[in-house]
Amino acid sequence: MTQTVKRIPYGIANYRVLQQDNMYYVDKTRFIPQIEAAPYYLIFIRPRRFGKSLWLSVLQHYYDVNYREQFAELFGNTWIGQNPTPDRNTYLTLAFNFSAVNPHIEEVQVSFEAHGDQVLGYFLERYQAYFGQLERERILSAPTTADRLQELFFQVTKKDLKLYLLIDEYDNFANTILTTAGESAYRDLTHGAGFFRYFFNLLKSATTGALSGLTRLFITGVSPITLDDVTSGFNIGTHISLAPQFNELLGFTEAEIHALLTYYQTQGQLTPDMAEMEQFTTWYGGYRFAQQANTHVFNPDAVLYFLEYMMREGQAPPDLIDQNLRTDYKKLRHLLTVDRQLNGNFSLLREIIAHGETRGRIKVSFSVERLLAHENFISLLYYLGLLTFDGEREGLPVLQIPNLTVRELLYGYLRDGFEDVDIFRLNTRRFGEQMGAMAYRGHWQPVFDYLAEAIAAQTSVRDYLAGEKVIQGFLLAYLNVTNFFLTWSERELGGGFVDIYLEPFLARYPDMRYGYLIELKYIPREKLTETRLAEVVAEAEAQLRKYRGDARAVAVAEKVTLKCLVLVYHGWELVYREEWTDE
């Protein structure tokens, strides 16, 4: 009988469903022995949409005593299936997912208790053989989730059972409250007598002493802020997020993606041109979660999103950034403004966008009150996947933007920051039409003239436009309003680095007719003369000649007209804009 082609598990976080429904699984079970060798109470932070929920489901199915008879079915084709540990299927497992809690400030506590009721009720139903009727009633009659847990821990200890507690998205509703209701509401939740703080205080007590009742604990989230706030110093477990041995625990390695693509090519689902590795590296790769790690990983959800669409429709998705990811990251806009004023975070973000990197040490613990501190904000960007390790320079880790997806998200933050405080905004419909004319008819002048006119009319933005790199970042942010082009900054061509390369996105728009190499020059306000202007224009044209002769640029020019532009800014003013040709 012919075996059915494995399905793409996009959006699937239930390991049993993945295995029983014949889905492709990138096997991460080799990390289970390393998890067992680590301390018993672990905290693991990774960006959104990075496979955290599926990993917890793997742990639950591996350790749960109720799945003992299904071990071969669930794990027979995995690394751990061939190399099981003595602890397999020896635990009672209790799994919370706090993304299920309603984050509305007036509903959150009721919703939290309802989720706790549901989880504990299901737990006692699954493990009826271990708890008598009176014991179950005693647990469920306690007034709060925390109190019910405390009673459960006592019963587990008394019966000498092993309990594995899994908490997914521990900071989900707390982060939403911070972004929507503000810092005061968040502090009520996580400080003092807040119910969420009480819940974590109970977990702390359950991990110590002879009657602790909690054998193992694995917590996932996207940032350490909430855990620091609710535990007064991040002291309920061991933070393994920065450990090099767990760099590849979540995310796909290049070898794993090659195996994935090879499988679907072999099955006739992908053609070689559809399985080009460069597109995955460009948009979804580049993450390195430990300074000492040697390999980069790819965002697994984004890779599967792309493949699922590609195999279903026979072409790349119209938006290479998953809309779910865009929605998740939109919530971070609040970090850039205070009382409708741009804060220091915005200035730092603007600097990172301009240079593509920054330097700093990643902090494992910081509270919301200290979020504006330089290294804390850089650390938050790292945990959220907006920055990643890229070596070391002058004694400090270098943190760079990992890929084009993140770069586009950051450009969006820059635009949103300006708009949120009424510093700068464009008529996006008009600008989008101009970008379309630039892409299809070669009419590039209106795009830069409109930006120049808008800057001249909206005087507040001028304070933020000083220096070539800043102007470059500003232009890149707005040239990304549409997706006609793959927008590159400092792209290596012809032995140099072109300031802005608008590469036609032919995979999405095969009838596009124009691409652009743009060399940007900046003259400080006090140094503009005709002689100086002529010098920088000549310098720009010489650089464009080299870029245009690069083999990759020549290959693009065989498909579209590749125009070379020189832009010269004097302060915030565009004082020169011309097309260069070698004719």
C-beta separation of 156 from 124 below 8 A: no
Other C-beta atoms lying within 10 Å of the C-beta of residue 578? 14
| Torsion angle in degrees (nearest 10) through CA of 106, 107, 109, 115 | -170
End-to-end, the C-alpha distance of the chain in Å comes to 65
What CATH class is the domain 319-422? mainly alpha
For the chain, the domains span: 15-246, 254-314, 319-422, 423-583
Domain 15-246: give its CATH code: 3.40.50
Q: What is the pLDDT of residues 370-416, one digit of tens each?
A: 877 888 889 989 999 999 999 999 889 999 999 999 998 888 888 88
Read off the pTM: 0.91
Residue with tokens 């110590």: 208
Strand ordering across the sheet containing 485-493: 485-493, 496-504, 514-523, 561-570, 573-580
Mean pLDDT in consecutive groups of 10 residues from the start of the chain, 583 residues:
81 95 96 96 93 97 97 96 97 96 93 96 95 94 92 92 95 84 84 86 78 87 84 73 96 96 91 81 94 95 94 86 75 60 76 87 84 84 93 92 91 86 90 96 96 93 85 91 89 91 89 96 89 95 95 94 96 94 79
CA separation for the pair 268, 319 (Å, rounded): 25
Q: What is the DSSP letter of 195?
A: H
